[in-house]
Chains A and B, each alone.
Chain A
Amino acid sequence: MAFKRQIDRLPIIPADARKQTAVCHFCIVGCGYHAYSWDINKQGGTAPDQNVFGVDLAEQQGAETEAWYSPSMYNIVKQDGRDVHLVIKPDPGCVVNSGLGSVRGARMAELSYSEARSTQQQRLTAPLVWRYGSMMPTSWDDALDLVARVTAAVVEEQGEDGVIVSAFDHGGAGGGYENTWGTGKLYFGAMKVENIRIHNRPAYNSEVHGTRDMGVGELNNCYEDAELADTIMAVGTNALETQTNYFLNHWVPNLRGASLAKKQAELPDEAHSAGRIIIVDPRRTLTVNACEVEAGKDNVLHLAIKSGTDLALFNALFTYIADQDWVDRDFIEASTLRDGASRPPLYPARGVSEATPGHLTSFEAAVEGCRISLEEAAEITGLDPADIVKAAEWIAMPKEGGARRRTMFGYEKGLIWGNDNYRTNGALVNLALATGNVGRPGGGVVRLGGHQEGYVRPNESHVGRPAAYVDQLLIGGRGGVHHIWGCDHYKTTLNAQEFKRVYKRRTDMVKDAMNAVPAGDRDAQVAAIVNAIRQGGLFAVDVDIVPTKIGEACHVVLPAATSGEMNLTSMNGERRMRITERYMDPPGEALPDCLIAARLANHMERVLREAGNDAYADQFQGFDWQTEEDAFIDGYQANAHGGEHVTYARLRAMGTNGFQEPATGVEGDVIQGTKRLYTEGVFSTDDGKARFMDAPWRGLEAPGKVEQQANHRFLINNGRANVVWQSAYLDQANDFVMDRWPYPYIEMHPDDMADLGLGEGDLVEVYNDVGYTQAMALPTATARPGETFMLFAFPTGVQGNVVNAGTNELVIPNYKQTWADIRKLSDAPRAVAHLSFKSREYSTG
């Protein structure tokens, strides 16, 4: 039976309810919401003067009404220690989402910690330490003292190289400017940690070094550009399921022709028509389906390339467009490097240096370097040459009347976690630069994003480039203490099976040592831990909002607050910065990450001073923050570009629309922002000129991929599902989600299933040269035979187990190009008997 809440009425928001700004803390789109709260003993009424909507709620409300909220938008939470009703509903006045709520964001209230309604009871409420063979609650001071003593001891023996850090660097959720600054100041200010990695990749690097090296920051346009573009080119992104309301509220109006009036008003001197879309993806996604529904099949070009061959396609488009001279000569002349250096000696096998695996050059040199014929590209990509030509025409052929075609290029994990990240990224940016589609309405070459962003930290250049491959350090026995902030590598890293095997062994050594001495004897505990570390053990500290899989291996677990339990600022995919106000208390003793970092710094300073190391202790000063706003002032205001204009008070006043970074000034109390970057044609390089990239195709680039492809039958493509946010860290305790997908699904063509003797819902093992995992077979008629797609980072079957350790030169993982074999584990278990296996594609019959 499908999960039903059996809720048939909800308390009504009274007219005088408290109303605060909230931004969805999940995906990068950052939809605007309002958090309404009111006393537990009160409620509004149906009469217009008794409710916040001012309408008669005794009547049925129409479609898209503001005056309705679903049970998932409601909860009872603590506010300053008192129970209050809470409704978090989408804001019709927010330009990002115009009142739309996705299946993820519209569950924010239900995904909040509630003692009264028993939601998210998994949340961590107290610090925990390994004591007497299990995790036991303790005080903050006790837990932090242990962490500080062990950390100080490791630094004394190994230097700061012994401190290995995994830390989120995103906005939303537990991130935001406050918390990235807090952790950043600890590890890059007080310390100079080099062995640090980010939540979703095994090193401290950019996912998009290519575009940045070319001088083009990756979030350079605005969401309105998707409404103004003649053509949207979407690469490796399933926007309907992963940037839902950006797609629904800004792409779809263009595809429907509903933004024509806006095009004519803003760009009156050229011809306009409804938008067309090119989608580059080996898989027919639900985004393709929706685009066909909206634009008609004639206006949707799905280029279903062979997995990992994007670079050959982009180079063929670049070659063809250049040969047709459909390029923006004036822009190239004025804004890009005109005399490029000659190719480095070992190019294309090697780049300029280890740090720069490409060759940045002029337009002309790049065209010659990237040159590939339509026929050769068709052979590599598996596409029809005519479709490549059609794509080139849609991207760059001048419009009726001769005007330049406006094309927006959006890309995400299919490219970022795909083959030859650096050069593929560069090859796509080549297309945008050549056609003058950066910094102009209807253009942009942008990553579409995962999380929101919230990065401001002290200078990190000491980390170096290529950065350390931290997972390999841990597997190789390096490091003595591991500080983990909001990461769960057990679910989300590559080569996960080997990582877990070694990590468990190393952390178990420390657990065994701790078991051997009394927990109450701190000196003996620290001595035992340090001794175990000398033998190859690892002491692990996990800061998170929920218990994680990697947390099971840790010795100290510290409870963090999340968005809404603290004031938290972030920016979305068009650099739109907003504040989420604190609308509820954190669970138990949980604290914002920035304050956890500050208190840890305080303890480090004390422990070091007690040990007589005053010089090192002094480095841990400057952490006397009492609130997250203190961290914001110390971090964002003092360090972000334009940060001096931004205050909590101004952000509160600017609500869900905020402003677009960077801030350029203040008029009255209104922060002035930046709608698009590079509108003046000056780029982020020393000389202000953008670079093209000479980036020829070189096959599957990451180590081990060619062999894996040759030796295993199925492509194990992987990614996200609409209903699940990220690693399901909150969804794993949400009945609605876990009822829908008890196990990660693997999309398979029905013929492949028949061949393997599989029925719908059967559990299968996915196995290859590096590991094995499980999934639930999901028959998918649109899947290509031999090509599967598995839900990534799900707790009941970790796809990363079968992703090999191969990365590109800059340690960017290559999750997407994974091949494995599949065999049946069991018939469909009882837990999936209630599921529907009908097609997920919208159909009008």
Chain B
Amino acid sequence: MKRCKALVDVGRRQFLRGSATSAAGAAAAAFVAQPARRAQAAARVDYPSARLANIADLVVDEPFNIAYPDEGSPGVLLKFGHAVTGGVGPDGDIVGFSTLCPHKGFPLLFSAEDRVFNCPGHYSRFDPEKGGLQIWGQSTQNLPQFVLTVDDAGDIHAQGVDELIYGRLSNVLA
């Protein structure tokens, strides 16, 4: 993947959204979220349960664009072909992550070569095989991972998120 030329040109202070190389695209067609609610008194927010894809949709090492908990929060599902941290499915190899860098919200680029998310903003790198651990970078969080389940039909559902998603002060918007 070539680095987004636009980002090089406009410099740090002007971020161009929607680059062609972004792994984080618009919400996938498979996204069918229930209406999000925010419980006023709960210590944690209530998440929608959303069907994101079916296992049959996934190809090893190819990010599958989704959005969760709503269309404004891009992410991907990844299938690795071997069990990984937090992985679900029969092989424990399917994970889902937010693809907004928790440092400054730049869209992360997935590199299949070493199975790493790279941030074109400030060079941060996250390992989706290790629960989104920041390999190196300026984010003060590891990458938010979606809590997934897989039902008998192979449908993949998201049930929650384990860190605050960039750009929102509540993972489920009020």
A positions within 8 Å CB-CB of B: 1-10, 12, 46, 57-65, 68-73, 98, 100-103, 106-107, 110, 240, 244, 248-249, 252-253, 256, 258, 286, 289-290, 293-294, 722, 736, 740, 834-836, 838-840, 842-845
B3 nearest in chain A by CB position: A844
Given the contacts A4-B162, A252-B12, A68 and B131 also touching, CB distance less than 8 Å: no
As a 0/1 sequence over residues 100 to 112 of chain B, the CB contacts with chain A under 8 angstroms (1 = contact) are: 1011111101011
CB distance from B75 to the nearest CB of A (A): 13
The 5 closest A-B pairs by CB, nearest first: A60-B72, A258-B11, A63-B105, A9-B170, A840-B136
A2 touches B114 (CB 8 A): no
B1 touches A4 (CB 8 A): no
As a 0/1 sequence over residues 141 to 174 of chain B, the CB contacts with chain A under 8 angstroms (1 = contact) are: 1111100000000000000111110111111111
A256 touches B8 (CB 8 A): yes
**Could you say which residues of chain B place their CB within 8 Å of the CB of A68?**
105, 166-169
Q: Which of B133, B160, B171 is the one whose CB lies under 8 Å from A836?
A: B133
Complex Cα distance, B173 from A68, in Å, reads: 13
Complex Cα distance, B138 from A286, in Å, reads: 13
B45 touches A9 (CB 8 A): yes
Tell me the dominant secondary structure on chain B's binding face.
Answer: loop
B116 touches A843 (CB 8 A): yes
Q: Can you give 22 A-B contacts (C-beta < 8 A)?
A: A2-B132, A3-B142, A4-B141, A4-B163, A5-B141, A6-B44, A6-B162, A8-B163, A57-B168, A59-B72, A60-B168, A60-B173, A63-B104, A65-B105, A68-B169, A70-B102, A103-B139, A740-B134, A834-B131, A839-B114, A842-B118, A844-B111
Complex Cα distance, B13 from A249, in Å, reads: 9
Given the contacts A71-B141, A834-B133, A844-B111, A46 and B174 also touching, CB distance less than 8 Å: yes
B163 touches A7 (CB 8 A): yes
As a 0/1 sequence over residues 77 to 98 of chain B, the CB contacts with chain A under 8 angstroms (1 = contact) are: 0000000011000000000000
**Could you say which residues of chain B place their CB within 8 Å of the CB of A62?**
15, 17, 105, 167
**Could you say which residues of chain A place their CB within 8 Å of the CB of B144?**
4
B133 nearest in chain A by CB position: A2
CB distance from B100 to the nearest CB of A (A): 8
Task: Tell me which of B44, B125, B145 has the highest count of chain A C-beta atoms within 10 A of its own C-beta.
Answer: B125
Complex Cα distance, B118 from A58, in Å, reads: 28
**Could you say which residues of chain B place their CB within 8 Å of the CB of A71?**
140-141, 163-164
**Could you say which residues of chain A place their CB within 8 Å of the CB of B114?**
838-839, 843, 845
Given the contacts A46-B174, A58-B174, A71-B164, A722 and B106 also touching, CB distance less than 8 Å: no
Complex Cα distance, B13 from A839, in Å, reads: 27
Complex Cα distance, B10 from A256, in Å, reads: 9
A1 touches B11 (CB 8 A): no
Complex Cα distance, B115 from A66, in Å, reads: 31
Complex Cα distance, B119 from A248, in Å, reads: 14
CB distance from A250 to the nearest CB of B (A): 10
Other 5 A-B pairs with CB < 8 A, given A736-B142, A842-B123: A2-B131, A8-B160, A68-B166, A68-B168, A72-B141
As a 0/1 sequence over residues 57 to 74 of chain B, the CB contacts with chain A under 8 angstroms (1 = contact) are: 000000000000000110
Complex Cα distance, B100 from A64, in Å, reads: 11
**Could you say which residues of chain B place their CB within 8 Å of the CB of A252?**
12
CB distance from A46 to the nearest CB of B (A): 5
A838 touches B135 (CB 8 A): yes
| B122 in the interface (beta carbon within 8 A) | yes
Given the contacts A10-B164, A68-B168, A838 and B116 also touching, CB distance less than 8 Å: yes
